[in-house]
Amino acid sequence: DHLTGCEAPLGADETCQPALRSSACLEDRGLAFACDRATGGVATSGLRPRQVCQVCGVSVEGGDADPREKMFRARVQFGPATHRGALGDAHVSEYRVYAVDGAGIAIGPPLAILPRNPSALAAGCCVADAYGAEVELNLTGTFASATLIMVYIVADGFELPVGAEVMAIRDYYELPAQTLLMQVLEGCLDLVPSTGNSLDQASQVAPAVAAALADVADVPNASVKVKEVAPGGCAAWRASLGGGRRLEGLAALRARYAVQVPEGGNAVAIAQLVQSREAQLAARLRRARGL
């Protein structure tokens, strides 16, 4: 530590002034401890030493670059040290990058150690990205409480007590892609043309069927596909699929359709609604298309 001494208990009316380690980066301000006779507690006088060296600035490029949850990866960048507000790092030997918790306490060993580079001062002004390092953290276990990345200066042979905040640790991650199982309802609608009307109008029926079904099911028009408009009723079509006897004459025209249920929609309710209104649909389509 930068302060030594005063470890032993103080007697009544005794005082102690801790010794400050010699460094051009620390200014002594007369901190002293005394035993308070009235309370039995410790009284202080003076002020804690002031640190007069700090990095001149930081440069943040983006944030967490690791798409995984609880994993953090970023590039930290900062400039050379100043001494009493002016660029100068003659007393600096290296810079140490740490993860710290909410109380400002460093967690574990340094994430990166960057030796002093005299050329960092060549520009004569603060170059905020003169020093840089890639850091990676697993935000579980040891680093679960990490909230900040900070840089500390090592000067005159020891690490200075006050660091500079480089960046906050915020875990940005991508949720895994979810496969949505789309529900599709299929059905068949019987359409009986009026006497004397030709079945060559079948090509005109499909758009009308699609629009009517979308209206009844309360789904977008794009969610309805008319798969077939052909002579022969739905019963005959179903029988032919099953290999049974074809049933002729039950209907002159059939319209097979598929309704894609929107995400979050109730497939059962939509199916019941369409089935319960098939007769109304057929009548509506006959009126609309003159079938």
Q: Is 211 part of any domain?
A: yes
Do 107 and 138 share a domain, yes or no?
yes
Looking at per-residue pLDDT, the higher value among 252 and 9 belongs to: 9
Do 121 and 64 share a domain, yes or no?
yes
Q: What pLDDT shows up at residue 244?
A: 38
What is the average pLDDT across 3-22? Answer: 88
Q: What pLDDT shows up at residue 196?
A: 44
Q: What pLDDT shows up at residue 178?
A: 53
Do 133 and 207 share a domain, yes or no?
no
Q: Is 111 part of any domain?
A: yes
- Residue 239: pLDDT band with limits 50, 70, 90: low
Rounded distance, CA 156 to CA 257, Å? 82
Q: Is 32 part of any domain?
A: yes
pLDDT tens by residue, 246-264: 333 444 677 788 888 877 7
Do 193 and 256 share a domain, yes or no?
yes
**Total domains in the fold of the chain:** 3
Q: Among the three residues 19, 35, 51, which one is the final residue of a domain in this structure?
A: 51
- Residue 203: pLDDT band with limits 50, 70, 90: low
Do 60 and 43 share a domain, yes or no?
no
What is the average pLDDT across 230-250? Answer: 53
Range of the domain at 223: 183-289
Share of the chain above pLDDT 90, in %: 45
Do 18 and 102 share a domain, yes or no?
no
Q: Among the three residues 142, 168, 194, which one is the final residue of a domain in this structure?
A: 168
Q: Is 178 part of any domain?
A: no
Say if residue 231's pLDDT is above 80.
no
Do 102 and 131 share a domain, yes or no?
yes
